[in-house]
Every structure is written in structure tokens, then in C-alpha cells.
């Protein structure tokens, strides 16, 4: 099969499209013929091995023989002897989450996933390209709002970074939960963010979100572009900040200091400050599927690329201006 591989850390120039063996399929695994995949910031971090703690997962001093791609959609080609949840021909979506192994990498014609891992039936009303855009970004938004943010109907929710992969899902899911949603994004995303349901849209290139006078019950922050004292002024006295990703400054310990600071400070104040780590969950993929089939969420896709053009797709995503998701059409 064809698959993207890399043998050293670096820029997208280290990636190559190679002929490799089909992934092994264990007794509890499903073999998926990948139809589409999606690019995420995790692919950039895996490829570059930065911040350097990523190399504890991906290999020291060089990457293990791994592929890239954590989100996919496709058809079940074969199943292991113990598999009961899926059968050949099923249309599924999911991915590998944080586990960097070659057999589950999405930038390939086939991938092998455990049936109890991050895989579920594909939403029937979505194309493979749309479904591939959902797993990691959709789970991040869902778990940030529901689990970390404890969202309730009527909450005032601020989504900082509303035009990106996680942000577009966060806006739609917050509306599905009955919240009043304000999205913060750049000028080129204002109309799109409004079209997916935001009640208010703030263009950060023209307006200062801190000058609106509004305070929020919940802030989902993907951008990480405000100091903590500023964020606390945006939150209601008992408001919640959920920090999802954001820029990683520094190569060693510094990227870990921000989440650690939130964890230390949160018990000392009335507001709750929660860093976010997305959990791989097939059950939560089923939640997203139901939302999608009910018409409450729909992926926003900026561009699509062929499998051979994965390096170009990663370069584009890494510029930081993608609208929603960047998708790879595999077969």
C-alpha cells in the first residue's frame, strides 16, 4: 500500500510517499481502507519532534518507523477474530489519538485500529471527507465543553479561535447545548463563524474582546493569545477557562508551564482554570455522530489535498490561517 513515512525529524521535506506492507490486524482490530484523512497540529509536532518532549512518544534520537495522520474515515476491509462491533463493509471514522504507530496512521491507504479504541460508525449524512475532519477536533470541542466546561443551557460561552478546526466544532456544539456563543476570529472567518451559529462574532484584528464589557460563564481558548489576568477579567466570578492547545512557546519545559500554572492557581480562586487533554473515545464519536445526523454540527473544510501532497497540506496548516479543517483525499 501507499503511505506517508519519515525517518528523521524536520520540515515537511522529510516526508515521502512510500510502498509499505499492509498493517497487521490483531484479533481485536479492524482493518480500514482509508478514504479520507485530516491534518492536525499534532501532525506538525510529531513530524518536527517539537517541543522536545514529543520525542519521548515518537522516538529518540530519531523517530521510530511511524507514519502521520490521526483522523480518518473509510470502510472496514477485514476484522479480527474477536471483533463484534464492526464487520467488513461498514463505513467508519476515527483515528489513533495520541498513539504514534505506523499501523494506525491515517495518511495511508489502510490503517488498523482496535475495535474498542477511537473508531465508530460514520455519520450517514456526511461524506468521507467531512467525517475524517471530525474525530480529534470534534472530540476536543465536545470534551472541553461537556466534561471540562460543564456547559449548561443559557451559559454565555466565548470561543477564542472560533475559525479553526476545534473552534468551528466548539461553536456548533455550544449552540447545540443551548448556550449563547461569542466567537473570536480573524476578518476572513467572521462570516463563516456567524454562519455556523455564533450569536456574536468579534474580529480580533479590529476589536478588543476585553473592551466589550461582557463576562462569560465559559471560555474555550484555542488561541492562547491573552495573559491570564486578562482572561480572568473576561470570566464571570465563577466562570471556567478551558485551555485547548494554543501556541507552544519554547522547546523544552516552557510549554508545560502554562497548564501547570492553571492547575496550581485554579484551587486558589473562584474561577476554574482547566487545561485540556483530549481522550480517545469511541463512545464520544457516537455522540458526535448523533449530533451530525441531527443536523446540529457539520465540519468546515478549508482545502483538500491528495495523499501525495501531504507535505503541502501540512505547510498550509502550519501557517495558522486554515479555516476549519484541512483534509486529505486518499482513495
230 and 150 within one domain: yes
Mean pLDDT of 266-288: 87
- Return the pLDDT at 96: 82
Q: Which three cell numbers stand for residue 198?
A: 455564533
Q: Is the pLDDT of residue 247 over 90?
A: no
Return all residues near 204 (Cβ < 8 A) that are at least 6 apart: 184, 185, 186, 225
Residue 225 and residue 142 in one domain? yes
**270 and 142 in a common domain:** yes
The least confident of 79-88, 201-210, 268-277 is: 268-277
Q: What tens digit of pLDDT does each residue of 194-213 get?
A: 999 999 999 999 998 887 78
Is there a domain that residue 104 lies in? yes
Query: Looking at the structure, do residues 110 and 9 belong to the same domain, yes or no?
Result: yes
The residue with greater pLDDT, 65 or 280, is: 280
Pick the range with the lowest mean pLDDT from 76-80, 140-144, 205-209, 299-303: 205-209
Higher pLDDT, 54 or 113: 113
pTM assigned to the model: 0.91
Domain of 80, CATH number, reads: 3.90.180.10
Indicate whether 297 pLDDT > 90. yes
> Which one is predicted more confidently, 215 or 212?
215
Q: 20 lies in a domain?
A: yes
Answer with the residue of higher pLDDT: 258 or 308: 308
**How confident is the model over 273-301, as a mean pLDDT?**
95
Phi-psi category of residue 69: left, alpha or beta, with phi > 0 → left and psi -120 to 50 → alpha: left
Q: What pLDDT score was predicted for residue 258?
A: 66
pLDDT digits (tens, 9 = 90+) for 172-193: 999 999 999 999 999 999 999 9
Structurally, the chain folds into a number of domains equal to 2
CA atoms within 13 A on the CB side of 34: 34
pLDDT at 256: 56
Residue-range definition of the domain harbouring residue 97: 2-134+299-329
**Do residues 140 and 92 share a domain?**
no
Q: In this structure, is residue 158 part of a structural domain?
A: yes
Per-residue pLDDT at 250 exceeds 70 = no
> Which H or E run includes 157?
strand 156-160
Residues 145, 111, single domain; the answer is no
Based on the domain organization, do 176 and 252 belong to the same domain? yes
Model confidence pLDDT, tens digit, residues 251-270 = 444 555 566 777 676 666 87
pLDDT of residue 276: 87
pLDDT computed for residue 257 by the predictor: 57
141 and 119 fall within a common domain: no
Inside any domain, residue 289: no
Is residue 246's pLDDT more than 70? Answer: no
pLDDT tens per residue, range 89-140: 999 999 986 566 677 899 999 999 999 989 999 999 999 999 999 999 999 9
pLDDT bucket at 65, cuts 50 / 70 / 90: low
Please indicate, yes or no, whether residues 127 and 190 belong to a single structural domain of this protein: no
Average pLDDT for 31-53: 89
User: What mean pLDDT, rounded, does the chain reach?
Assistant: 90
* Backbone angle region of 224, left / alpha / beta, with phi > 0 → left and psi within -120 to 50 → alpha: left
Give the pLDDT confidence score for residue 251 in this predicted structure. Answer: 45
Residue 282 counted as domain residue: no
Helix locations, 26-134, DSSP H: 41-48, 55-58, 128-132
Torsion sign over Cα 72, 78, 83, 87: positive
Amino acid at each position: 500500500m501507499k503511505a506517508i513515512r519519515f525517518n528523521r525529524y524536520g520540515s515537511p521535506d522529510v516526508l515521502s510517499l512510500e510502498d509499505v506492507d499492509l498493517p497487521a490486524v490483531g484479533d481485536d482490530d479492524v482493518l480500514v481502507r482509508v478514504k479520507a484523512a485530516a491534518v492536525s497540529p499534532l501532525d506538525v509536532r510529531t513530524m518536527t519532534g517539537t517541543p522536545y518532549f514529543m520525542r519521548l512518544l515518537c522516538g529518540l534520537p530519531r523517530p521510530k518507523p511511524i507514519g502521520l495522520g490521526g483522523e480518518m474515515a473509510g470502510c472496514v476491509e477485514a476484522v479480527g477474530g474477536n471483533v463484534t462491533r464492526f464487520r467488513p463493509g461498514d463505513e467508519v471514522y476515527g483515528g489513533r489519538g495520541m498513539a504514534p504507530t505506523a499501523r494506525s496512521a491515517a495518511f495511508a491507504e489502510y490503517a488498523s485500529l482496535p475495535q474498542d479504541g477511537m473508531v465508530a460508525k460514520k455519520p450517514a449524512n456526511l461524506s468521507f471527507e467531512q467525517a475524517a475532519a471530525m474525530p480529534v477536533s470534534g472530540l476536543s470541542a465536545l470534551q472541553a465543553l461537556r466534561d471540562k466546561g460543564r456547559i449548561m443551557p443559557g451559559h454565555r460561552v466565548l470561543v477564542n479561535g472560533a475559525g479553526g478546526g476545534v473552534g468551528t466544532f466548539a461553536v456548533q456544539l455550544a449552540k447545540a447545548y443551548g448556550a449563547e456563543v461569542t466567537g473570536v476570529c480573524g476578518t476572513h472567518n467572521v462570516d463563516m463563524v456567524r454562519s455556523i451559529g455564533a450569536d456574536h462574532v468579534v474580529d480580533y484584528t479590529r476589536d478588543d474582546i476585553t473592551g466589550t464589557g461582557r463576562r462569560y460563564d465559559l471560555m474555550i481558548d484555542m488561541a492562547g493569545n491573552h495573559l491570564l489576568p486578562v482572561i480572568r477579567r473576561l470570566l464571570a466570578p465563577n466562570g471556567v477557562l478551558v485551555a485547548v492547545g494554543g501556541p507552544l512557546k519554547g522547546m523544552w519545559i516552557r510549554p508545560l508551564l502554562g497548564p501547570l500554572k492553571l492547575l496550581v492557581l485554579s484551587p486558589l480562586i473562584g474561577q476554574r482554570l482547566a487545561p485540556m487533554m483530549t481522550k480517545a473515545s469511541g463512545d464520544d464519536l457516537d455522540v458526535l455522530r448523533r449530533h451530525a445526523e441531527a443536523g446540529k454540527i457539520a465540519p468546515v473544510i478549508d482545502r483538500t489535498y491528495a495523499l501525495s501532497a501531504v507535505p503541502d497540506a501540512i505547510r498550509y496548516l502550519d501557517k495558522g490561517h486554515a479555516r476549519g479543517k484541512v483534509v486529505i483525499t486518499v482513495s
